Amino acid sequence: MKWITLYGSVILTFSSWSCDICGGVPGNASIGLMASTQFHMIGLKSTMSCYRSYLSGILHSREFLLQQELTGRWQPAPKWQIMASIPYQFSIQQRDLGQDAVAGFGDPSWMVNRVLVHRKDSLNITRSFLSIALGVKVPLGKRAPEKSMIRNLYPGTGAWNLNAVLLYTTRLKRQVSWQQEGSISYKFSDSYGFRYGNTYSLASTLVWNRKAGLGRLIVGAGLRLDDFEASTLHSMGMSGFNNQGVSLSSQCSLNYMGYRWLWGVNLKNPLVQNFNQGSMKQGLSASLSISYLLISQHQKK
């Protein structure tokens, strides 16, 4: 099975949830551990995130977001991938005196990835890999009304996002590679003039992979830095909380690629964060994913 000797391959794991609880990260694109497989994929991903909100340093509420995503990836040519995601989100905020819940479809996203450099050794194993991805998040999801006090709970932002991701992977040892990723999410205003600030991310991950049974085990661990610019209203700065902040997180993932299925578990845990002057804190975020692999035409050839 030649495909299993691929050193690394990429799966786009971008999310498109609307959440000013965490600084408004919709469309924040992130290319996962694996680069350039020769497969089309269709999959499901479940992500659970939790947050705590504070007033004057006192715990005010807890927020839980459960997102289900239908993900797809099409490999039209060896160096091109097109990826799409349609999320459905259920979110709830629990307070002393009540709770609010919102459910609905989020904003779908598309992204086109182009492999710029793919160096291989004499055994056809990847030595280094560079790719760039450009994408868009379309405001078709459920969005908050203009004066909503729970805007963060809604799955859609009502605004377009443009996303770009640059990914570089280099092999360190036979089974270990180092992946670095930089991404930008440029955000437009919604029809009410509200605009989440742009998001900039850097991630560095060590990836270890080995053959396991009939498939391949791929494990990654690393750090991720996210910078969230302040939200604005009609291009003016907002008084009070504006979703500005920085977050440094540890993240790890465990993936198993079998003959037809790819399984994945991802964990992300903030180490340092200061959203909204420390009034909102993200807890552990976990996701499970499963994808069905379809051999692409050029792979068959």
Partner 1 sequence: MKHLEKVILSAAIMGVLVLNSCKKEVTPTATLTITEPVAADTVPHGDSVHMEGTIVGSGELHGYTLQLTNLTSGQVVYSGSTENHQNSYAFHEHWPNNVASTSNMRLTLTVNLDHDGNTTSKSVDFVAAQ
> Which residues here bind partner 1, judged by CB under 8 A?
54-56, 58-61, 95-98, 147, 149
- CA–CA distance from 182 to each of 64, 127, 227, 261 (Å)? 27, 20, 12, 28
Q: Tell me the closest approach of the beta carbon of residue 148 to partner 1, in angstroms.
A: 10
The least CB distance from residue 60 to partner 1, in Å, is: 4
Q: How far is the CB of 151 from partner 1 (least distance, A)?
A: 13
Other beta carbons within 10 Å of 97: 5
Of 95 and 119, which CB lies nearer to partner 1 in the complex structure? 95
Measured distance CA(17)–CA(190) in Å, rounded: 15
Residue 25 — left, alpha, or beta (φ > 0 → left; ψ -120 to 50 → alpha)?
alpha
Q: For partner 1, which is the closer residue by CB, 57 or 213? A: 57
Q: How far is the CB of 56 from partner 1 (least distance, A)?
A: 5
* Shortest separation between residue 249's beta carbon and partner 1, angstroms: 26
Torsion sign, CA atoms 151, 181, 160, 114: negative
Token pair 């959440």: residue: 19
CB of 147 to partner 1, least distance (A): 7
Tokens representing 182? 């930089």
225 vs 238, beta carbon nearer partner 1: 238
DSSP 8-class letter at 20: G
Of 44 and 59, CB closest to partner 1: 59
The two counts, helices (H) then strands (E), for the chain are 1, 16
Query: Taking the complex as a whole, how short is the minimal distance between the CB of residue 95 and partner 1, in angstroms?
Result: 7
Nearer to partner 1 by C-beta: 59 or 265? 59
DSSP letter for each residue of 71-95:
EEEEEEETTEEEEEEEEEEEEEEEE
Residue closer to partner 1, measured from CB, 54 or 261 = 54
- Which residue, 91, 92, 94, 21, is CA-closest to 276? 21
Cβ 37 vs Cβ 7: under 8 Å: no
The Cα–Cα gap between 223 and 203 comes to: 6
Between residues 7 and 51, which has the closer beta carbon with respect to partner 1?
51
